[in-house]
Amino acid sequence: MAFDQISRRNLKKLLRFSSKARYISLLNQYTLACLHVQNHNYTNVYMKWKKDSYLDSIDSIHKSLELKPILALKNRITASPQNCIPISDVSKKGLQLDVPIKVARLTRKAAILNEEEEAVYRDYKDDLQERLKKFILMSVEDRLPLKIIQGMLWYLGLPDDYLRKLEGNFDACFEVVEMGDGLKGLAVVKTEKDKKILSVLEKNASRSIEAFMIPFFPSKGLRLKTKILDWLDHFQKLPYVSPYEKCPDLYRDSDVAEKRVVGVLHELLSLFVEHSVERKRVLCLRKYLGLPQKVHKAFERHPHVFYLSLRNKTCTAILKEAYCGCDKTGIEAHPLVQVRKKYIDLVKESKVILKNRRHGNRSFCSGDEKLELNLSEDEKVFL
């Protein structure tokens, strides 16, 4: 009996050793084939966050949360045949405020801006659609749920009703698919997936000697330890894996995997018209883009690439290259951003007008131009 127990224990050890040896052999074969992507030299990097007053002052980024619902209201007004809507349709508290018969309409300036915005959507339709296509192709399965895309339309520069007009907005490269659990998604067809898609970094590398190096923009006055400087130099020399390349076998804890995560975030912010996004939005995209659970750490470990703004009681990730780089970078300002800036300026003017109205003033002067409130008893002017 004792001999049998000893034999069984020895047999178990032999099997465990045999399985481990076979596993190690296979791992070594894979490692030899992919040695350059499996190397791991993790450095525990901690770089003190340094405030950047310039990046914190960009209104087109930090006023987005305020501007987005205002433009959604503007779109409801312009969609109405009479170009006006009841206040009760805007606010559920319309009856409580005793304004059920009053209407909201656009001012002349807002109407002109709306026409300018619509012109950008028409003139840059292909560009905006290409951004959506790339956004989908960055996903693991080349498809994304419609509800996820809807939440990112503002950042991609697309109208908030874009997905409600599928036939008119999408060409043959898109198709609506079932994603399970009753979810519908938007996919890119095979003919489009077979085309070589280049990231912004890859396009820039074709014109640069230092291929696939992620542009760094160190914060002024920030001194780094030698250990971190050496790590950054090592990081730049690592192979670059395109965010459009599917690499399920890439070891998640390798240095190259970390560089791929930074590359994915760089490309994602490059696709967004303002080159910024609320960090919590990226967390919602994590599983669809194949990003690690602690993807937010990439923003903190790479402050030379990204800036985290804590303005407006939220955390906004900003791509430094878009705002701190020279004119030679491949990231250009989108015309839609200029339109949004004009909307923000108009909102500021409106606040001053309303403030003056509360003090009994019926007009507001801006330079040589006089803006009349033009308020009647049964109307409220919007913007």
Structure tokens at 221: 């006055």
Residues in the chain: 383
Structure tokens at 339: 């339109």
pLDDT at 363: 41
pLDDT at 323: 92
Beta bridge mates, 185: 145, 177
Average pLDDT, rounded, for the chain: 78
Give the pLDDT band (50/70/90) at residue 14.
very low
- Among 143, 139, 167, 163, smallest CA distance to 153 is for 163
Q: Which comes out higher in pLDDT, residue 70 or 355?
A: 70
Q: Which comes out higher in pLDDT, residue 380 or 173?
A: 173
Least confident interval from 132-136, 146-150, 221-225, 338-342: 221-225
Give the pLDDT band (50/70/90) at residue 64.
confident
pLDDT at 192: 65
pLDDT at 372: 35
Q: Which comes out higher in pLDDT, residue 195 or 264?
A: 264
Q: Kindly write down the DSSP assignment for every residue of 118-132, as one continuous string.
A: HHHHHHTHHHHHHHH
Contact status, residue 69 vs residue 254, Cβ threshold 8 Å: no
Residue 127, pLDDT above cutoff 70: yes
Residue 206, pLDDT above cutoff 50: yes
pLDDT at 9: 55
Structure tokens at 362: 């019926």
pLDDT at 366: 40
Rounded to whole angstroms, the maximal C-alpha distance in the chain is 106
Which H or E run contains 100? none
Q: Which comes out higher in pLDDT, residue 354 or 351?
A: 351
Give the pLDDT band (50/70/90) at residue 182.
confident
Mean pLDDT of 358-382: 44
Least confident interval from 146-155, 213-222, 250-259, 348-357: 348-357
Q: Which comes out higher in pLDDT, residue 91 or 177?
A: 177
Mean pLDDT of 233-257: 88
pLDDT at 76: 82
Choose the most confident range, by mean pLDDT, from 34-38, 334-338, 349-353: 334-338
Strand runs labelled E in 11-159: 84-86, 103-106, 143-145
Q: Which comes out higher in pLDDT, residue 36 or 90?
A: 90
Least confident interval from 79-83, 100-104, 206-210, 323-327: 100-104
